[in-house]
């Protein structure tokens, strides 16, 4: 079984590899949650980052607001492969 650091790193690298496809940088990328499934088959890793909000008010002001986006990764505890990435609602 892979350890938690390996699982987190797999999720982090997976997300970073998709950064260009997502069309934005990942400001303030942080580890939010870690959990192992009941049968210990998967690590469930939640990473969060800030996503700038787009609104007309931002065009006329220098202040930027952002929302926190959370992604949940399902990492195989034997192989270390990311098998799924989902939007994590809070």
Q: Do 67 and 74 contact (CB within 8 A), yes or no?
A: no
* Tokens coding 56: 């007309």
Which alpha helices (H) appear in 18-88, and where do they start and end? 19-22, 56-60
Rg (CA), the chain: 15
Q: How confident is the model over 25-40, as a mean pLDDT?
A: 95
Domains along the chain with CATH numbers:
4-52+64-87 (3.10.450)
Instruction: Encode pLDDT of 1-11 as tens digits.
Output: 999 999 999 99
Whether 62 shows a pLDDT value over 70: the answer reads: no
- Across 5-9, 51-55, 62-66, the highest mean pLDDT is recorded for 5-9
Which pLDDT does position 61 carry in this prediction? 56
Q: Round the average pLDDT of the chain to a whole number and report it.
A: 89
d(CA 59, CA 33): 34
The continuous run of DSSP H or E covering 81 comes out as none
Residue 49: strand pairing partners: 69
Instruction: Encode pLDDT of 18-27 as tens digits.
Output: 988 887 788 8
* Cα-to-chain-centroid distance, residue 28: 11
Which pLDDT does position 48 carry in this prediction? 96
């Amino acid at each position: 079984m892979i350890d938690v650091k390996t699982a987190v790193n797999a999720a982090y690298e997976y997300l970073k590899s998709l950064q260009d496809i997502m069309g934005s940088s990942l400001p303030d990328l942080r580890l939010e949650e870690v959990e192992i499934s009941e049968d210990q088959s998967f690590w469930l890793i939640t990473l969060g980052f800030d996503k700038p909000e787009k609104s007309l008010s931002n065009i006329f002001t220098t202040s930027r607001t952002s929302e926190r986006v959370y992604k949940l990764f399902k990492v195989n505890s034997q192989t270390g492969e990311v098998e799924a990435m989902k939007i994590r609602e809070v």
